[in-house]
């Protein structure tokens, strides 16, 4: 196992180590093994690392069961599609294709979400900051936009800041469930999970308070690294 994926006995690991290594070694998050089966990377910190803004019990349930469940689901969906093909029977393949879109999108967004959080306040710098100013006017304007977008998702979903290579610009998406209302090609840089499982234990029904609190722990350095990766992948 790579050293960056191990959690230190001291209680926490440098927040970016595991996922920085994952990104650096693979150009993009490594979410499958050599056989193409979906795998869940280790959290880059202990489950209490984001206290008090994200409580330990929520982190545990969210990572282990909600994200973990999506990985299991995506593997099953993939198997069922392969089975349908091997049996030349595509009667149910549309069901499994939809399920795979749902589960794999959940896996992707959750994997990014953990890296987008740290235990201190950060702000965009460098190329990311310049692009934010060009596309939204200022960081304050983007904060306002992504916060309102996230708070106002109908039902469960995500607020997403993405790089859109077709227009070479940053864009904000309001995603429902895990897979709806995207723009083709958009690469997520910073994602905000507003499913009830992300906040209900601590914030109850107050989604707005949860979204506002997240700004204390958003890891814009990770978003900047993701922008670098996206530009390299799409140039």
Q: Which residues bind Fe ion (CB under 5 A)?
A: 66, 193, 195, 198
Considering the complex, what minimum distance in angstroms separates the CB of residue 10 from Fe ion?
Answer: 28
Question: 169-176 and 187-193: which strand pairing?
Answer: unpaired
Q: Which is nearer to Fe ion, 164 or 219 (CB)?
A: 219
Q: Which is nearer to Fe ion, 4 or 157 (CB)?
A: 157
Considering the complex, what minimum distance in angstroms separates the CB of residue 110 from Fe ion?
Answer: 6
Q: Please, is 138 exposed, middle or buried when counting C-beta atoms within 10 Å of its C-beta (0-12, 13-18, 19+)?
A: exposed
**Among 183, 179, 170, which residue's Cα sits nearest to residue 223?**
170
User: Nearest residue by C-beta to Fe ion?
Assistant: 193
Cα–Cα distance list, 175 to 14, 148, 195 (Å): 30, 13, 11
Considering the complex, what minimum distance in angstroms separates the CB of residue 225 from Fe ion?
Answer: 22
Task: Tally Cβ neighbours within 10 Å of residue 156.
Answer: 15
Considering the complex, what minimum distance in angstroms separates the CB of residue 97 from Fe ion?
Answer: 22
Task: Tally Cβ neighbours within 10 Å of residue 81.
Answer: 18
Considering the complex, what minimum distance in angstroms separates the CB of residue 66 from Fe ion?
Answer: 5
Q: Which is nearer to Fe ion, 129 or 180 (CB)?
A: 180
- SS3 letters across 179-205: CECCCCCCEEEEEEECCHHHCHHHHCC
For residues 183-219, one letter each, b for 16 or more C-beta atoms within 10 angstroms of the residue's C-beta and e for the rest, the string is eeebbbbbbbbbbeebbeebbeeebeebbebbebbbb
Q: Which is nearer to Fe ion, 104 or 195 (CB)?
A: 195
Considering the complex, what minimum distance in angstroms separates the CB of residue 195 from Fe ion?
Answer: 5
Q: Which is nearer to Fe ion, 214 or 224 (CB)?
A: 214
Q: Which is nearer to Fe ion, 19 or 136 (CB)?
A: 19
HSE (side-chain half, CA atoms, 13 Å) at 117:
26
């Amino acid at each position: 196992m790579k050293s960056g994926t191990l959690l230190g006995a001291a209680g926490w690991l440098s927040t970016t180590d595991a996922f920085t290594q994952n990104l650096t070694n693979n150009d993009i998050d490594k979410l499958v093994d050599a056989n193409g089966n979906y795998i869940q990377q280790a959290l880059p910190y202990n489950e209490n690392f984001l206290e008090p803004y994200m409580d330990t019990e929520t982190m545990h349930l969210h990572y282990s069961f909600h994200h973990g469940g999506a990985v299991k689901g995506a593997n099953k969906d993939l198997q069922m599609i392969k089975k349908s093909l091997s049996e030349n029977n595509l009667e149910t393949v549309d069901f499994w294709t939809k399920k795979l879109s749902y589960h794999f999108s959940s896996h992707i967004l959750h994997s990014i979400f953990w890296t987008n959080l740290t235990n201190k306040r950060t702000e965009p710098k460098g190329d990311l900051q310049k692009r934010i100013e060009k596309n939204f006017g200022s960081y304050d304007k983007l904060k306002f936009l992504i916060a309102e977008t996230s708070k106002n998702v109908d039902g469960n979903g995500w607020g997403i800041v993405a790089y859109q290579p077709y227009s070479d610009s940053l864009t904000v998406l309001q995603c429902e469930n895990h897979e709806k209302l995207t723009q083709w090609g958009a690469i997520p840089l910073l994602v905000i999970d507003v499913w009830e499982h992300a906040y209900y234990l601590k914030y109850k029904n107050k989604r707005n308070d949860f979204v506002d609190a997240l700004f204390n722990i958003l890891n814009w350095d990770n978003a900047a690294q993701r922008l670098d990766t996206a530009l390299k992948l799409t140039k």
